[in-house]
């Protein structure tokens, strides 16, 4: 079972090791084909990886112009008068990627893609959800819900399904799928906005209604001035689509990630901990690598015998 768990000393070493794994994979596949498809995440954990990867790309170790990227997720409902303003809002994930990776590159990627959440007018979405309750169902056992739109939906909801959700997945498929996906882990074990309790099956691209706690935390953490300014929805890849990549590299640092990381490795596969889907992925032959700092790996190190009994490789680089 190709599931490696690499433990590093700290954020710096974690970032260097993860960037080397990504760069090596890019180099190997660029020797075999014209274009490499890279999946990207936002959040604190991959920022060091991106800086190290940008340095390797700028040094010419791998060719940026032959890389095409697809991000995991994006908000719906960012402040702004139009899609362009929303995409350039400092809390948008498009803006994050420009700051943390795209803007660092001397030679730009062939193309970059972030889910098209900024095209959606949040007020129009809310109106459509209130007016056309028969065109969708809510799925999820917790406060964050997937809004699953029917295939025959019309109007705003039909457009979102066909031209935002389905179109993003089709575009990924058109370029042969993702070669390697970089992911992080949420505090409750979620990947992107595939939040805890949203079912795996069928939820490949998600329109998500964020729970109140997520919205309140975004304000409390200073990302938005008020609840009124904070997005209430998001577009996201679901776990099924994320874990179709040929390789998945998960990076996690800090004690807040200790529990979710351990649950995803040692617990059952459950949508309550969406990254636990990685066990199914690895069992089916997917190449899964966790790169963790010492704090995030603490419980796995304490329970190393259990990790190895499941057939997973634990590599300690501290």
Q: Please, which pLDDT band fits residue 1 given cuts at 50, 70 and 90? A: low
Residue 224: name the closest of 116, 31, 78, 98 by CA.
Answer: 78
Task: Using the predicted structure, report yes or no on whether residue 22 has a pLDDT greater than 90.
Answer: yes
Q: Where are the domains of the chain?
A: 3-316
pLDDT band at 113 (very low <50, low <70, confident <90, very high): very high
Task: Report percent pLDDT > 90 for the chain.
Answer: 88
Q: What is the architecture, at CATH level 2, of domain 3-316?
A: 3-Layer(aba) Sandwich (3.40)
Averaged pLDDT, 116-124 = 95
Mean pLDDT of 215-237: 87
**For residue 107, what are the CA distances in angstroms to 14, 55, 100, 233, 283?**
25, 11, 15, 34, 37
The pLDDT of residue 284 is above 60: yes
Instruction: Name the residue with higher pLDDT: 242 or 212.
Output: 242
pLDDT score of 209: 94
Q: What is the pLDDT of residues 126-173, one digit of tens each?
A: 999 999 999 999 999 988 999 999 999 999 999 999 999 999 999 999
- pLDDT of amino acid 228: 84
Write phi, then psi, for 145 (nearest 5 degrees).
Answer: -125, 145
pLDDT at 69: 98
* Residue 66: other Cβ atoms inside 10 A: 16
Please check whether residue 3 is in contact with residue 278, taking contact to mean a CB–CB distance below 8 angstroms: yes
The confidence score (pLDDT) of residue 147 equals 98
Indicate whether 23 pLDDT > 70: yes
Angle at 216 between CA 212 and CA 218, to 5 degrees: 120
Interior/surface letters 285-313, b for 16+ CB within 10 angstroms, e for the rest:
ebbbbbbbbbbbbbbbbeeeeebeeeebe
**What mean pLDDT is reported for the chain?**
95
pLDDT tens-digit profile of 43-66?
899 999 999 999 999 999 899 999
Model pLDDT for residues 177-213, shown as the tens digit of each residue: 999 999 999 888 889 999 999 999 999 999 999 877 7
Give a three-class secondary structure readout of 27-50: HHHHCCCCCEEEEECCCCCCHHHH
Say whether pLDDT at 118 is over 80: yes
Q: Give burial (CB, 10 Å; 0-12/13-18/19+) of 123.
A: exposed
Which carries the bigger pLDDT value, residue 1 or residue 7?
Answer: 7
Q: Write out pLDDT tens, residues 68-94.
A: 999 999 999 998 999 999 999 999 999
């Amino acid at each position: 079972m190709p599931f490696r768990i690499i433990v590093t000393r700290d954020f710096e070493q974690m970032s260097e090791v993860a960037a080397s794994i990504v760069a090596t994979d890019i180099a190997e596949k660029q020797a075999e084909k014209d274009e490499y498809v890279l999946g990207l995440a936002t959040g604190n954990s991959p920022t060091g990886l991106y800086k190290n990867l940008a340095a390797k790309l700028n040094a010419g170790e791998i060719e940026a112009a032959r890389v095409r990227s697809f991000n995991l997720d994006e908000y719906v409902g960012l402040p702004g008068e139009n899609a362009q303003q929303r995409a350039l809002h400092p809390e948008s994930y498009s803006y994050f990627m420009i700051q943390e990776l795209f803007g660092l590159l001397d030679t730009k990627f062939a193309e970059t893609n972030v889910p098209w959440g900024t095209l959606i007018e949040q007020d129009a979405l809310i109106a459509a959800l209130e007016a056309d309750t028969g065109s969708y169902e809510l799925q999820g056992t917790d406060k964050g819900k997937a809004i699953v739109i029917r295939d025959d939906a019309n109007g705003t909801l039909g457009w979102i399904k066909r031209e935002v959700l389905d179109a993003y997945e089709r575009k990924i498929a058109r370029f042969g799928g993702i070669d390697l996906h970089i992911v992080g882990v949420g505090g409750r074990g979620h990947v992107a906005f595939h939040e805890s309790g949203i079912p795996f099956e069928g939820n490949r691209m998600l329109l998500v209604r964020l729970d109140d706690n997520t919205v309140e935390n975004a304000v409390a953490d200073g990302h938005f001035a008020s609840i009124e300014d904070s997005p209430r929805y998001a577009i996201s890849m679901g776990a099924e689509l994320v874990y179709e990549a040929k390789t998945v590299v998960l990076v996690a640092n800090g004690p807040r990630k200790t529990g979710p990381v351990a649950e995803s490795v040692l617990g059952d596969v459950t949508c309550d901990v969406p990254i636990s889907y990685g066990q199914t992925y690895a069992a089916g032959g997917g190449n899964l690598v966790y790169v963790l700092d010492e704090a995030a790996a603490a419980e796995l190190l304490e329970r190393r015998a259990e990790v190895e009994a499941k057939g997973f490789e634990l590599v300690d680089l501290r």
